[in-house]
Amino acid sequence: MATASVTSPAGSRSIDEIRAEFPILERQVHGQPLAYLDNGATAQTPLHVIEEMDRYWTEHNANVHRGVHTLSEEATNLYEGARATIARHLGANRRDVIFTRNVTGALNLVAHAWGRANVGEGDRILLTEMEHHSNIVPWYLLAKEVGAELDWVPVDDEGRLDMAALEGALERGPKLIAVAHISNVLGTVNPIADIVRLAHDAGAIAVVDGAQAAPKLPLDLAALGADFYGFTGHKLYGPTGVGVLYGRSELLEAMPPYQGGGDMIRSVTFEKTTFNALPYKFEAGTPNIAGGIAFGAAIDYVTGLGLERIEAHEADLLRYATEALLEVPGLRIIGRAREKAGVLSFVLEGVHPHDIGTVLDREGIAIRTGHHCAQPVMDRYGLPATARASFGLYNTREEVDALVRAIHKVIGMFR
């Protein structure tokens, strides 16, 4: 296949200049240049973000919110500055932005704190067939605990939500719908603003898993209208172990705390505990301070590049890769929705996805194989697993070419 030029997601900055900011991309794997195509699981981190985290450890390491000494005040300012950066990025009030461990932590927070207070026996919780386990299991546990029922919105053969079925399920009066903004398996970009509007018209709240969307799409939470929206640092070119939950103020104010401990309280006596104001009511104990600061730096990084340009760059890679993979004999792409992000799941006739991943690794190409923590959607398509290539802002058409060459090598080995 002929090598094509690639556009930079940062306008005048070349893709080579951007790639040079990610030290790990200089690695070789099994003697081959690394082609990292597993961004849907974890994206790589630019040097700027790594340096910000290191600077905290080497210059400002202290606990936040409690101390009056210089280091504590510096750490607090950096940590709360990161919260303010994330809030601006979302178009939200900083008091509505809660630091969590990851998006899994964010969804569990909502299921426990809002769910236990508002969902009871016989109530319905509406999910979709394309959800990640993180947006299924917390609701399953809640339903088992309180005697609620789970409803499911089906996915069609192309990987789109059945909107007619969704409207029918909403007519049954669920308390909430929990839905992914972008499917981590299919790449489908769901019409969140429409789904939220339909949910609100039916008297339900809308909880959105934004783990795959936040690194790829400009976010305007006012336009989306979601009641809760969670995403995570490590998929957004930041560190692991830190995420964010946005929630509407009136819902957060009414919710009981998720966990108890230091910093989430105003006062504690033997007789009574009173709780802190938002967002601290939901942030018990010492947080991941370095991670939060680095998360803010990662937001600054992608904002500086321009999320619209990143989205366009990944759309170009997706088109290029889709056309190339459709030419591979025996290869079937899973998820062909028209509105789709830079995720390509596929199966190869006669070859297990794990074998595909193993051979590609020997060629220096990192992809994901398995059920991708989304077994219901695998069951929908009658598959135990797929291979998945997922693109990031530093990937190139040349890496797509390498992926296709390696898949042809797989075919030669197993057929």
281-101-136-123 Cα dihedral, nearest 10 degrees: 0
Per-residue pLDDT of the chain (415 residues; tens, 9 = 90+): 333 334 556 557 899 999 999 999 999 999 999 999 999 999 999 999 999 999 999 999 999 998 899 999 999 999 999 999 999 999 999 999 999 999 999 999 999 999 999 999 999 999 999 999 999 999 999 999 999 999 999 999 999 999 999 999 999 999 999 999 999 999 999 999 999 999 999 999 999 999 999 999 999 999 999 999 999 999 999 999 999 999 999 999 999 999 998 887 888 888 888 888 899 999 999 999 999 999 999 999 999 999 999 999 999 999 999 999 999 999 999 999 999 999 999 999 999 999 999 999 999 999 999 999 999 999 999 999 999 999 999 999 999 999 999 999 999 998 7
Alpha carbons 357 and 83: distance in angstroms, whole number:
38
pLDDT digits (tens, 9 = 90+) for 274-304: 888 899 999 999 999 999 999 999 999 999 9
Asked if domains 15-33+306-410 and 50-304 share a fold, the reply is no
Q: Please state whether beta strands 228-232 and 205-209 pair in parallel, antiparallel, or not at all (unpaired).
A: parallel
Closest by CA position to 83, among listed 57, 109, 65, 60:
65
Q: Is 373 a catalytic residue?
A: yes
Q: From residue 354, how far is each of 114, 144, 343, 357, 370 by CA, in Å?
A: 39, 34, 18, 5, 7
Radius of gyration of the chain (CA): 22
Q: State which amino acid sits at residue 395.
A: N
Candidate list 62, 146, 163, 373, residue with the active-site label: 373
Q: Kindly report the CA angle at 23 between 21 and 24, in degrees rounded to 5? A: 130
Helical H runs in 147-202? Answer: 163-170, 192-201
Alpha carbons 141 and 321: distance in angstroms, whole number:
39
Residue 8's pLDDT is 59
Residue pair 84/213 in contact by the 8 Å Cβ criterion = no
Closest by CA position to 103, among listed 42, 169, 160:
42
Residue pair 150/125 in contact by the 8 Å Cβ criterion = yes
Considering the domain 50-304, what is its CATH architecture? 3-Layer(aba) Sandwich (3.40)
Per DSSP, the three-state class of 366 is strand
The whole model's pTM is what?
A: 0.95
Sequence-distant (6+) residues with CB within 8 A of 266 are: 274, 275, 276, 277
Helix/strand/coil (H/E/C) assignment for every residue in 28-60: EECCEECEECECCCCCCCCHHHHHHHHHHHHHH
Assign a CATH topology to domain 15-33+306-410: Aspartate Aminotransferase, domain 1 (3.90.1150)
**Domain ranges across the chain:** 15-33+306-410, 50-304
